[in-house]
Amino acid sequence: MHPQEILTQLARFRGITYRDVSLPPLGKNLAISRDAVTLNTHFSTNVPLKQPLVSANMLDVTESKMAIAQSLEGGIGIIHRFCPPDRQAQEAGTTKRAHNFLVEDPYSLQGSSTIGEARNMMALYKIGSLLVKNPDGKLAGLLTQRDVRFVDDRELVKTHMTPRRPGKEKRGDLVVVTREETLSINQIVEKLKQHKIKKLPVVDSDNFIVGLISAKDIERLKQYPLANLDQRGNLVVGATIGAIGDFIERAQELKKKNVDVIVMDVTSANSVSVENAIHEFRQKLGDYELVVGNIGTAEQAHALMQESVQGLKIGIGPGGPCTTRLSTGIGVPQLYAILEIYWKLIFKYHYKPEQIPPLCADGNIGAGCDIVHALLAGASSIMIGTLFAGTEETPGESYEKPDGRYKRYAGMASIEAAIERFTAMGFDDPIVEALKKAPEGIPREVKVGGSVKTTIRTLLGGVRSGISHRGILSLNDFKKQNPFDPETGFHILSAASRDESYKR
């Protein structure tokens, strides 16, 4: 289609969102099974995904437990910033360490430490074992939760660890492998089985610690073939910063944990403060992977692209607990926002498709149909809050009501979230600070369901089926289809058609 025709067609979609349209089937369904449809995409320029789902950087949605689950399923979790910088970095570090064939720089302590100190470290870092070092840094032994059971806190680690005695091993001594040995996963599994052990330290020829292999992590490698891993074999994870206050400190702490992408997240990224924050970020952290949001127009996207960002997050007020549009009267229907940003960047601002950073659609996802529509419109990934909020992996305690268990779920611009944010920033009276700002989010409660893995797989099943109904077998090919084609693109529905399609 001619560029002017595209822009004319785009104007028809003003005021239109996901459930105002449907897509017709195309061609012949080529999929013998919907599992044959591949969903590879990107969250940001240098952060690929095996599938497009992203857990929202919300107080009641994403900490390490959720981020781990998302990455194991091929997506990514973005850890919220409503806690002190060191704790946020700790959550990110926990995620990076949770699934790795070889854990580099494993947690350790000295043999002269107490059992109480060891217990505290295990609880803090959510781990079941610690390597024990000599004062010179060489491996002395291994201490597990089983070793400290029923042991007094005042006793010393060296009296309860499994010892390492290089060159004069005895039965019951610690089994290790050296970095110089080239063992396959199957050979390592055999070694673990032979010695009936679950942890296998890796040392160099001088007995200095190189890493730690865990039977649990090897089992996970087989259970999660789509796990989204970085080049070192660690789970991929992102985390959020703001644009004022401690945002540089947070970013620097997150960088120390090798976080794959940092998201600068504010209600509206169309501001001088965000522009200044990006400049300071670049001065302090160089070209570190940065996604910025939220935005709602192509003009905003074009402006941010001048700042060399690696991704953009779209959504002004579409989320379930978000009241930005109600409070301010400002917002853009989500489907139209994605369409305008992607297609105007090409046909008005004259970018080539490969020059546009990946777009993340944030908010108003209620089912697989919404994801399919967002992806065809131009999004590369889909951020989800509400659908994940009631799962077992979300932070916070559940509570009982007569009809079941519930969890709290607050919008990020709510009073509750603002109090958490100002507390994390060290304000003397965070409640007073939070009340100075008009809230643009509300708390709600969500019923607790099962694991987020079930939710992810159900949603992706719908997405794969939707793509297969369009006669293709990959998300990449699906995104090449023209959403504006009168015959094969989006059909805008009448009120009766909307009810027929989506009212159940």
pLDDT in tens, the chain (504 residues): 788 888 999 999 999 999 999 999 998 777 677 889 999 999 999 999 999 999 999 999 999 999 999 999 999 999 999 999 999 999 999 999 887 778 888 999 999 999 999 999 999 998 999 999 999 999 999 999 999 999 999 999 999 999 998 766 666 689 998 887 767 777 888 889 988 899 999 999 899 999 999 888 888 777 888 999 998 778 999 999 999 999 999 999 999 999 999 999 998 898 999 999 999 999 999 999 999 999 999 999 999 999 999 999 999 988 766 777 777 888 899 999 999 999 999 999 999 999 999 999 999 999 999 999 999 999 999 999 999 999 999 997 788 888 888 888 875 555 555 555 556 555 556 555 545 455 455 677 888 889 999 999 999 999 999 999 999 999 999 999 999 999 999 999 999 999 999 987
Angle CA 218–222–228, to nearest 5: 90
| β-pairing verdict for 41-44 and 129-133 | unpaired
Q: Which CATH number applies to 3-19+38-99+227-468?
A: 3.20.20.70
Distance of CA 41 to the CA centre of its chain: 14
Distances from the Cα of 50 to the Cα of 7, 65, 228, 277, 396, angstroms: 32, 19, 6, 31, 28
What element of type H or E holds 59? none
Residue 293's region, left for phi above 0, alpha for psi from -120 to 50, else beta, is: beta
Query: How far, in Å, CA of 70 to CA of 78, rounded?
Result: 9
Q: Tell me the three state secondary structure of residue 164.
A: coil
Tokens of 116: 């109480």
The domain locations on the chain are 3-19+38-99+227-468, 103-215
Q: Tell me the three state secondary structure of residue 298.
A: helix
- Whole-model pTM: value is 0.81
- Residue pair 478/470 in contact by the 8 Å Cβ criterion: yes
Query: How far, in Å, CA of 344 to CA of 197, rounded?
Result: 59
* 103-215 belongs to CATH 3.30.70.100: no
Active site residues per annotation: 322
